[in-house]
A = this chain, B = another copy of it.
Amino acid sequence: MPLPRFQKLDEPRKKTILDAAAEEFGERGFEQASYNRIIERAGISKGAMYYYFSDKDDLYRTVLDHALAHWLLQVGFPFEADDAASFWNACEAMYARSLRFMLEDPKNAALCLSVAQARERLEGHPVLLMLNERMMEWTGALVSQGQALGAVREDLPTDLIVHAALALMDAGDRWLASHWSEITADAVDDTASKMVDLFRRVGEPEGAR
């Protein structure tokens, strides 16, 4: 919710500002990020910045909104499954999309990771907590769908499965990050397949294979 004036800005200017903010917030998180430094990075004056955003909070929300929108667009869809096998295939495809997203847009990737961090710390900026809750609901829905298709076990609390799934996802991201240079673009599908196998092991009903 930037002040409406911001929307009227020409595209490159908007991008410059949002990019600078995304970098700073991504690198340091909300608290540690310096509004002054963002202003400096964006090559804009303080007055101008406060003319477009009411405060640091406002800018943060705007930047996160953008990143999340990108993520949903690029990763979340399509997801179509009508039996257990196609469910796991769809997961694999989605995971591969997620990897590509991280690879090609590290700036937004860092922001998305900060959402995961809020989950890990159980605290953080209210906006992070809210996004994280949405993320968990979204994952919960996915798990339920899997259960309905017989792809996911039902003998554990759903929220435990959700936590485990998200944790594995983060672990994968982290492992990927520490092997960044070795991951060529066409190794993505292979990696996704390996990772989703871990998800299956955790999530599949006993003796499903």
Interface residues of A (CB under 8 A from B): 31-32, 113, 116-117, 119-122, 156-157, 159-160, 163-164, 166-168, 170-172, 174-175, 177-178, 194, 198, 201-202
Main secondary structure of the interface of A (DSSP, over half): helix
- Find A177's partner among B122, B174, B194 (CB 8 Å cutoff): B122
- Find A159's partner among B163, B178, B202 (CB 8 Å cutoff): B178
**What B residues does A116 contact at CB under 8 A?**
120
- Find A170's partner among B167, B194, B198 (CB 8 Å cutoff): B167
Q: Is the CB of A164 within 8 A of B198?
A: yes
Further contacts, 12 of them, CB under 8 A, given A116-B120, A163-B174, A166-B171: A113-B120, A117-B117, A120-B174, A122-B178, A156-B194, A157-B175, A160-B194, A163-B171, A167-B171, A168-B168, A168-B171, A201-B202
